[in-house]
Structure 1
Amino acid sequence: MSTVPCRTACGIMRAMNLLLLHPDDQLDDALWQISGRRAEHLRRVRALVPGQRVPAGILNGPIGTAELLSDDGHMQHFRFQGDQVAPPSLPLTLILALPRPKMLKRILIDATSLGIKKIILLNSFKVEKSFWQTPELKQSLLFEKMILGLEQACDTVLPTLALEQRFRPFVEDRLPALSQHSLRLLAHPGEHPSLPAGLAQQVTLAVGPEGGWTPYEVDMLRKAGFACHSFGQRILRVETAVPAIVGRLMKLP
């Protein structure tokens, strides 16, 4: 399938390397239909014609190929066959201070593409209250960004995404159990040991807002078992820091 990028609704250039079929697309055991963005991409970028096949997968299901049976300019019909499993996920839970809405779009796509399957957006003192009111936090839009990440990475398993607006209750009441049996790392600027590299074990990583967590938040996270680590002397934008940190920290499958 073509890896030529297409412009999505959020204005980000992404490649659709996998036709991701959703449960609502299924007509019977092997017959599927799609329209809208996915069909337009296959029609205009791939120039797909009946009889041709493309890599495809079912959301939270197997991967295989889909043969285009017909295209009336609006609706496309496919026959899907698949018996391959999705690529391995990263043993990483990402806790992220809610970033600016424009950054959030890119971070969700990139985190999903990297194989992160558990993402928690957390409040922080430095997070503007207006960020929690943005339409970008609508479940449908968050779902859309993660779908784009799956299509990019030829993956089918959708991450779980949680929004936590109250820092202290989350850290005190839910984080200890959530991060149990994992290496707990806190990415924070300052004179701290460098982040480890090439890990294959279960990790829970907390990444703060630009400029880092507040001293109170650092103290709370430390009490929850997190150790501070730095990622060099440069202060990075969150959308740059997340993929860079994950790429260093984890052994990517």
Structure 2
Amino acid sequence: MNLILLRAEELAPTGAGSQRAVLRDRRLQHLREVLRARVGDEVGVGVEGGAIGKATIINLDAQAAELELRLDEPPPPPLDVTLALALPRPPTLRKVLQQATALGVKRFALFRAERVERSYFSSHGLHASALAEDLQLGLEQARDTIVPTVEVHPEHFGRFVRERLPELCEGRAPLVAHPGAATPCPRAPIGPATLIVGPEGGFIPAEVALLKSLAQAIDLGPRILRVETAVVALLARLSP
């Protein structure tokens, strides 16, 4: 945790014009057990949707930590890449959400494909609380405060491509990652983009043909990577 992420409702003004917050959850545990913080120490903080800065610990015990805040910096700029991802198995989804959030992605669209198990759409990993936790972990890692959005599209793949994907790609360069494509993935930012990544095992030929009618197919090289590895590699290439 490189940033303690606070909610706006946790802030309390003080008479001196500064703000304070009290922690009693896993963030308190992190301060005590991981950072081994003490009264007087400074830690990085930020407010969801707002500024980041520093906090001084003014009280700390086993029940609570009280922080005095100085929030005077903007969060880092987002990565202007929308990630459209064939819904992976739950452990992989957690890794992708955390890592892509840390890299600056602010919009995720999870969709169905032939090689996606339908049971994934009823997994605990898609509950609002689970998604919020994974996004928060990514933000804390990267010292960011702007929470991404996550859309879930369980409809048939063809319907998703016809009815949803055009909106996700509007005003953006559409890219579909596909092993063996003739065009290598760019190695520098290309402006706003929508990156489409398939499931483990890849898209079936009919899905590739449909996607190629809307998006440029790109390749990462001869190695076949796991979804979570491929996503990080692709986003890294498209990052400043």
Q: How does 1:83-232 map to 2 (within 5 A)?
A: 83-166=72-155, 167-223=157-213, 225-232=214-221
Aligned residue identity for 1:212: G
Q: Structure 2: where are the runs of 5+ without partners?
A: none
- Separation in 2, partners of 1:190, 1:112: 27
Q: How many residue pairs were aligned? A: 235
Q: How does 1:35-50 map to 2 (within 5 A)?
A: 35-50=24-39
- Separation in 2, partners of 1:226, 1:235: 21
> Identity, % of aligned pairs?
40
| Match status 1:27 vs 2:18 | no
Q: Structure 1: where are the runs of 5+ without partners?
A: 1-15
- Separation in 2, partners of 1:45, 1:251: 30
Aligned residue identity for 1:228: A
- Separation in 2, partners of 1:21, 1:105: 21
Structure 2 counterpart of 1:6: none
- Deviation string 1:111-149 (CA, Å, 9 cap, x unpaired) is 000001111111111001111121111110111011001
| Match status 1:63 vs 2:52 | yes
| Match status 1:244 vs 2:229 | no
- Separation in 1, partners of 2:232, 2:86: 15
RMSD over aligned Cα atoms: 1.4
- Separation in 2, partners of 1:170, 1:143: 24
8 Å CA contact 2:81–2:193 kept in 1: the answer is yes
8 Å CA contact 1:189–1:211 kept in 2: the answer is no
8 Å CA contact 1:63–1:84 kept in 2: the answer is yes
- Separation in 1, partners of 2:190, 2:73: 23
DSSP-derived class of the 2:183 partner: coil
8 Å CA contact 2:181–2:217 kept in 1: the answer is no
- Deviation string 1:186-216 (CA, Å, 9 cap, x unpaired) is 1011242211211241111100012211122
Question: TM-score, normalised to structure 2's length?
Answer: 0.93
Quote the offset at 1:24 in angstroms: 3.6
Of the structure 1 ranges 62-71 and 18-27, higher mean CA displacement relative to structure 2 is found in: 18-27
DSSP-derived class of the 2:208 partner: helix
Quote the offset at 1:72 in angstroms: 3.1
Quote the offset at 1:84 in angstroms: 0.7
Aligned residue identity for 2:7: H
- Separation in 2, partners of 1:76, 1:128: 44
DSSP-derived class of the 1:197 partner: coil
Quote the offset at 1:77 in angstroms: 1.3
Quote the offset at 1:178 in angstroms: 2.3
- Separation in 2, partners of 1:165, 1:45: 39
